[in-house]
């Protein structure tokens, strides 16, 4: 309109548009730099959190390295707090014989995972004693203690390595034959051989190209290869197809055979055959016994069991 009226020329309009773009470009670049700075600050915070983390205490000068253990575990009046004066476990005591399976049950936040964290010495206890085969775990070298324990968690961490090397993390000096034997015992051999390069297939970071069930089978194979005296199992709650779940159950039985096992249980229907069930609530053991004994008592465990049973009945109907 202004050009038609000869008020301004086309050149002036073109110049105006060009200068406008040149004016806004630094603002856009500044906004992009601000986003990068925000991202860098977040990353730096995570780095500083790691740097500020307190290092683990050194082993005692006279710490020992037992060659083998039977798997007897005892908690004697153990108390622990993540934060000062906020006890998570309060005067917890129990005794597990070698080869027994112990299920730890209770509501979320009751202290189930804390028991595992203390047994592995990820944290040191406030008071009391934890014994393995009568030895205070604080007098055992940390590296040796953790080599005695096998852990299979819900979230299996896999590296961007071959399937073979991921299993080998269970025992670094294992031969290829031992790795494949462990995979067969874990019912993982069949699906591994169907991968593009079998045991030499390179996995993506965290095993993203495998299903949840397949990742757990690899974790079980890794634990079988490690051949620990004591096992810690975090029962899977993720949705897994029926066939894979059957393989996992069979693999778990192979893994648990002849070993002391601690099972963090989420579905009470899966722990009926445990030798001992510890019922944790608010940091204390409120009940302990076999499945049948606890049902007969009609206490806290009975209420938990019936609430899950009724919930599953409603879902199925």
In tens, the pLDDT along 132-151 reads: 999 999 999 988 998 899 88
Tokens of 115: 């028991």
pLDDT score at 74: 95
176-185 and 212-226 helices, crossing angle to 10°: 120
How confident is the model over 103-131, as a mean pLDDT? Answer: 89
Q: Long-range contacts made by residues 52-58, C-beta under 8 angstroms, separation at least 24?
A: 56/142, 57/124
How confident is the model over 147-157, as a mean pLDDT? Answer: 84
> Using an 8 Å Cβ cutoff, are 128 and 79 in contact?
yes
Phi, psi of 286 (to 5 degrees): -90, -25
In tens, the pLDDT along 221-230 reads: 999 999 899 9
How confident is the model over 252-269, as a mean pLDDT? Answer: 84
> Using an 8 Å Cβ cutoff, are 224 and 171 in contact?
no
pLDDT score at 37: 86
* pLDDT at residue 313 tops 70: no
Contacts of 10 (CB under 8 A, 6+ apart): 3
Q: How confident is the model at residue 212 (pLDDT cuts 50, 70, 90)?
A: confident
C-alpha span between 40 and 32 (Å, rounded) = 12
Q: What share of the chain is helix, strand, coil (3-state, %, to 5)?
A: 45, 20, 35
pLDDT score at 67: 83
C-alpha span between 259 and 16 (Å, rounded) = 80
pLDDT score at 317: 40
In the chain, the percentage of residues whose pLDDT exceeds 90 is 39
Q: Angle at the Cα of 41 (from 37 to 46), degrees rounded to 5?
A: 150
Q: How confident is the model at residue 315 (pLDDT cuts 50, 70, 90)?
A: very low
* pLDDT at residue 267 tops 80: no
pLDDT score at 236: 55
Spell out the domain ranges in the chain. 2-52, 73-310
In terms of pLDDT, which residue wins out, 4 or 145?
145
Out of 3.20.20.370, 3.40.630.30, 3.40.50.300, 3.20.80.10, select the CATH number for domain 73-310: 3.40.50.300
N residues, the chain: 317
Task: Please give the model's pTM, rounded to 2 decimal places.
Answer: 0.75
Q: How confident is the model at residue 306 (pLDDT cuts 50, 70, 90)?
A: confident
In tens, the pLDDT along 29-79 reads: 877 888 888 888 888 888 888 788 777 777 888 888 888 889 999 999 999
């Amino acid at each position: 309109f202004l050009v038609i009226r000869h008020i301004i020329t086309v050149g002036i309009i073109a110049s105006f548009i060009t200068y406008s773009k040149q004016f806004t470009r630094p603002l856009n670049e500044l906004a992009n730099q601000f986003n990068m700075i925000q991202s860098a600050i977040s990353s730096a915070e995570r780095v500083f959190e790691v740097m500020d983390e307190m290092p683990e205490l050194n082993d005692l000068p006279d710490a020992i390295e037992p060659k083998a253990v039977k798997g007897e575990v005892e908690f004697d009046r153990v108390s622990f707090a993540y934060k000062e004066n906020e006890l998570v476990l309060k005067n917890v005591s129990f005794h597990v014989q070698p080869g027994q399976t112990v299920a730890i049950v209770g509501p979320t936040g009751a202290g189930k995972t804390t028991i595992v964290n203390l047994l592995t010495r990820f944290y040191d206890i406030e008071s009391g004693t934890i014994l393995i085969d009568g030895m205070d775990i604080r007098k055992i070298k940390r590296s040796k203690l953790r080599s005695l324990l096998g852990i299979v968690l819900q979230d299996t961490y896999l590296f961007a390595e071959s399937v073979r090397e991921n299993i080998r993390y269970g025992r670094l000096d294992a031969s290829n034959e031992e790795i494949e034997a462990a995979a067969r015992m874990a019912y993982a051999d069949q699906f591994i051989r169907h991968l593009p390069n079998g045991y030499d297939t390179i996995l993506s970071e965290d095993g993203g190209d495998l299903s949840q069930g397949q990742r757990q089978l690899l974790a079980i194979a890794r634990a079988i290869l490690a051949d620990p005296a004591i096992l810690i199992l975090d029962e899977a709650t993720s949705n897994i197809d029926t066939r894979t779940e059957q393989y996992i159950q069979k693999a778990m039985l192979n893994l648990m055979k002849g070993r002391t096992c601690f099972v963090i249980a989420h579905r009470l229907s899966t722990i009926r055959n445990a030798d001992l069930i510890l019922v944790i609530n608010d940091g204390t053991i409120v009940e302990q016994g076999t499945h049948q004994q606890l049902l007969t008592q009609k206490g806290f465990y009975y209420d938990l069991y019936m609430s899950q049973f009724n919930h599953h009945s409603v879902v199925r109907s």
